């Protein structure tokens, strides 16, 4: 028996109405879903950035609350960058205005000094700084009602202890090399304020070219230890780009002092030993802090700021053995448990 046309029409109208209502509700859900924008100082191909993002995505997998997260990258610090600092800053501000995030996670000093600090005192976005080496007060965050985060405190005590473990019973000297950028300038200021005890910091240099890096390493031959703050792609005298990985490998192979890195990339690129802030952990903690801040059930106001002194140990055994360096077992086991022990 054929159904009356009117019945079919009513059925189709009900189905159509349901679909329209579903689409409207979905749109409302997406609009009202809390929004987080992650703003990195460096480019997405930076190993540090990739590991921070990996930690963030891991934390998001464990999250059961609806949230929308987007990533933006200033891309600073590369000689092959296609836009100026001001262009990168303007693009980031456009991304913020377009998304209108509830929380802006600004990673490293540059993203905070160039962009995030401009939003101090506003209702949105809430500012969550991550891995800053300068103090929050230097960005204007100390008294800001809409700012909190995780400040990075480099593991200088662990570095000092490693040096005294490797050169027991005597005073040692250390040279320090890094990049002439905001992050390494802040890390160098931390280093110079630290009490190194029996370790004497003799010479330091923050450089802008690969040639200047190699020259300083050569001049540091009399030191016991060469501390590598961090490497990035740098231009050479002939205009070619020397990658951060190439600088790290060259330093391990050619430095007369024992090189020790304070970024995990140093060992990943061929170095022998690093004691470095843990990017995965930073990423996970930042997302959890942001989600807690967005939870209406939480206490009003921003969560308490954090200073992180956690660190990872990474070891590559072959280049250390070539120098006759024998690490205490605790370093080997720490690297093994972290998945950063290399042959």
- Residue 7: its pLDDT value, please? 60
Q: Are 293 and 148 in contact (CB under 8 A)?
A: yes
- Residue 26: its pLDDT value, please? 41
The Cα-based distances of 115 to 43, 93, 129, 141, 149 in angstroms read 16, 7, 11, 13, 15
- Residue 301: its pLDDT value, please? 78
Q: How far is 97 from 118, CA to CA, in rounded Å?
A: 12
Question: What contacts 51, CB < 8 A, 6 or more positions away?
Answer: 264, 279, 280, 283
- Residue 2: its pLDDT value, please? 46
- Residue 12: its pLDDT value, please? 56
- Residue 21: its pLDDT value, please? 43
Tokens at residue 316, please?
């590559």
pLDDT along the chain (343 residues), means of 10: 53 53 41 90 94 98 96 89 92 98 98 98 96 97 96 96 95 97 96 97 97 98 97 93 96 98 96 97 97 77 89 98 96 97 97
- Residue 80: its pLDDT value, please? 72
The Cα-based distances of 112 to 41, 70, 208, 211 in angstroms read 8, 17, 22, 30
291: number of Cβ within 10 Å: 20
**pTM for the full model?**
0.87
- Residue 16: its pLDDT value, please? 52
Catalogue all structural domains in the chain, each as residue range(s) with its CATH number. Answer: 33-153+279-308 (3.40.50.2300), 156-276+311-342 (3.40.50.2300)
């Amino acid at each position: 028996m054929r159904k009356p046309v009117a019945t079919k029409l009513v059925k189709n109208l009900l189905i159509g109405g349901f679909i329209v209502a579903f689409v409207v509700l979905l749109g409302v859900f997406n609009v009202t879903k809390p929004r987080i924008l992650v703003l990195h100082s460096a480019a997405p191909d930076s190993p540090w950035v990739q590991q921070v993002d990996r930690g963030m995505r891991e934390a998001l997998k464990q999250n059961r609350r609806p949230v929308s997260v987007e990533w933006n990258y200033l891309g600073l610090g590369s000689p092959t960058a296609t836009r100026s600092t001001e262009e990168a800053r303007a693009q980031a501000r456009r991304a913020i205005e377009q998304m209108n995030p509830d929380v802006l996670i600004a990673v490293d000093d540059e993203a905070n000094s160039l962009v995030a600090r401009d939003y101090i005192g506003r209702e949105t976005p809430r500012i969550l700084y991550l891995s800053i080496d300068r103090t929050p007060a230097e960005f204007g965050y100390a008294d800001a009602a809409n700012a909190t985060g995780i400040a990075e405190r480099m593991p200088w005590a662990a570095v000092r202890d490693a040096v005294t473990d490797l050169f027991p019973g005597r005073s040692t000297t250390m040279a320090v090399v890094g990049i002439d950028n905001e992050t390494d300038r802040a890390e160098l200021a931390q280093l110079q304020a630290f009490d190194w005890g029996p370790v004497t910091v003799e010479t330091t240099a923050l450089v802008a070219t690969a040639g200047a890096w190699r020259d300083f390493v050569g001049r540091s031959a009399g030191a016991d230890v060469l501390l590598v703050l961090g490497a990035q792609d740098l231009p050479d005298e002939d205009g070619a780009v020397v990658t951060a990985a190439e600088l790290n490998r060259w330093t391990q192979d050619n430095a007369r002092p024992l090189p020790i890195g304070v970024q995990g990339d140093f060992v990943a690129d061929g170095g022998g030993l690093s004691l470095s802030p843990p990017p995965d952990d930073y990423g996970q903690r930042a997302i959890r802090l942001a989600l807690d801040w967005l939870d209406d059930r939480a206490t009003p106001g921003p969560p308490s700021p954090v200073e992180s002194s956690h660190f990872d140990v990474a070891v590559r055994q072959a280049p250390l053995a070539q120098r006759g360096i024998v690490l205490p077992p605790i370093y080997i086991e720490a690297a093994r448990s972290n998945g950063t022990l290399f042959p």
